[in-house]
Structure 1
């Protein structure tokens, strides 16, 4: 007989020749009590299960607070009682598993994503979650194709939840239309922007919009087991203040701090740091159009007359982001922010206009000099309007003419405002 390799018995773990395995199972293993054979395995399984529970608990404690406190059911959901309360329309839809295409519209932190995940827990449909911040229409098409296969093979519908749906421009949003028409998918979108302005009208007509209102200042005491750590006591007044400054957001973000860091990095001509803060902002899911609006401000405030190409570039970046959306527009943002950081800087116009605003706040507005006023009628001409005005194109070289009110004729806002 030819040689055979040694293998482990799947029952008793004893090493035996491969050719002898069948005889071993029939003769030796059969005589061993089942309890004796499986007891070590059961003990090992119990140990593994215990370790798994411990690992899950440790992982839960390491999650961000907002994730640890995310409601898992409609009964623990905070706010929106008109929608998910005992008589709420959305509650009936979810509990009866009659979810149709819908849009959740509201400020950050109100529970749009949480509602979608509660639906995922209750529905018998296949649930897919995506984000327009990190995924594009190609990713969506793959999910839709998969939904079609599932529907044909298992007769199950697919619910697609797309967070930050407004990040897809209106052309990108067209990808959903034929599949919504055929019932291949049910779409749930979440947006912080007004759907009337940000969503394709054809798409909007096929979805029910649910408006989520800001949370009130009511305090909800948290259980220690929810937090997974010792709670710090909060005075009632402190709790009220925290609720008020969060502006209805149960999960405040540091967007303004990140934007501040981005702006200061550009001002300091540190392109490396500016690129990092831009990445942090986009990874946090903030609107790229908000970032480009800040870039437009930087182009005038910090670069100004030192590089007149900066402002048109920032405006072009805004329109480019509008046209193609995330995630494809991230390189456009990186291009623009790097240019702004490396550009020469001038705050001449920024400071000059600040002096103008200070003057308007501190002093009474002086009347427009008569020679600078328009005189479209005979009566106005008779009143002295436009009298003495020198039309500059009629003169060679500079014209000696006062353009400020008489009491301010020596004021220079570009120097010290005196």
Structure 2
């Protein structure tokens, strides 16, 4: 029986379609998806180390989901079982689990269960699989064309790492064609095929990112084209057009493409881009979307995003929808396009969203009684005074009078924010002016009950509050720097990040959170920092830990020689260049390790803009002579041409990046932080320096010993234990090729 099975398998492999024969067998043969299996990415490291956890591959057809699973089967030491959710049921799942238990018990061997089209499993089938994934009996690898967050059991998704595969780009598809033409065993390497450039461009374009569709078309073209007298099979543009006549539009009215396309359409309308709006509309109409659904979404947008900027929008779109119902298709496409163009070009305002702010206030606030003057006076005006004090607007000029209509707890609350677009621009000033008058009436007590007077007492002493503020502001400022760097860098989950100054962990841990399917390399300068970082990372799974590089930035190229193929999507640093003397060399070495579309994002404190200590005291504390000498001594610190640590400014920084052939954007932000002047800090300023001169060492270049002593005494007398405003500036730098 095994002999016949083997023969049948050989026949299947030789007679299989080209797309099946050309399926890659190793990671090096795999084309595309560098964002998840490129050098240094988490998935590639996990496959090579045979340390896989449960995975779900999600993406459109022909992007390599099943192929990746088969590569894993060829690479792993685990037992590999493959089933298709369309054909399999609970019985097949139980058989696979039984095999996995046997392999685990008898041979201590792990089992990987690959489930193709995993979203086709119903709830009971997915529930049958869940406990065995949870206890590690099987490692699940699922493949699906549908969004797993919607179509796959939430418990399975929560125990799996999701990898999204993207349609192959033009270069990837051309590489797939070349592989098929050159492979003598599985492709057409034994044939002489002349593929015209126009033909391959057409095949690649119409394949629409689907390698399987591309290979099927190539196979049809080759197999149906006879060879000429020289044995050459010519594939011209006309042959290619016959082989793949129409682009297959990926569109499932219940799937992601449906929701993603309507989302792109609505966002194009909201963004006032008529060209994009027409394109996405055409995509939907071409794929057979129900025009009534499109009209329904446009009616929503006419209120949500146009609103009072063009109050007729709802009426116009509704009229187009009624016209469509009357004329039908295909002529109904005219009112469909008319409504689209109208919404794309009309002024926009989302001021109606103020309703949801009001709704949130209703949910958040304690329900209050209707103010007395707004209550119904018809029933009990004489008994309870309901309606008493109400001012009838029509009795006043312009049919308006300033009085309060909100409950007492919400006086002054603003929900409606008129835009400066279209019709709302005309009423914006009117609304603002009337609010100002209402505010004045509130102060005067007109048309509103007087509020209750409340008292409160602070819970902390002045000293405690200052201390808390000092401590929190330092941490807050670092957090703001971190957040600003990641906002500028915009890393994606699969990116590789290098942290240039990871001693504090400020950027490293955030990077690990941002790129769970990528990787983080952390450069530290000392052994203590390296050990501390590794100890903190030991609680993470091995593949999720940062790769720690103990090196100065000058020696970083040597430290990275162990990883010759690694190129980083983002290189980040906080005060990374501050202490480096040879910045041009360091910058050039970093550029060599950037991806072509990578970025270098830094936050650097500018020394020349740092707080001057002599400004912390009032000038009258010094004699005029001493103050002038002190200013000269301190300013000389930041103008010393022989000290590259402190003598640079933004212009030098910009020139440095331009010299490295980088496009750079530098934004300077002034900072102000409350700090407490402690005895320890004063000691640091006035004791002799170790690796670098201290503040006192610089003063001795201009002041006598007695003058330096006087300065210290004044600082101690007037600054010790005081909280001062410490000013500075940070340059946020983003550079790319």
TM-score by length of 1: 0.48
TM-score by length of 2: 0.28
More strand per residue: 2
Task: Compare relative contact order (CA 8 Å, sep 6+) and give the higher one, 1 or 2.
Answer: 1
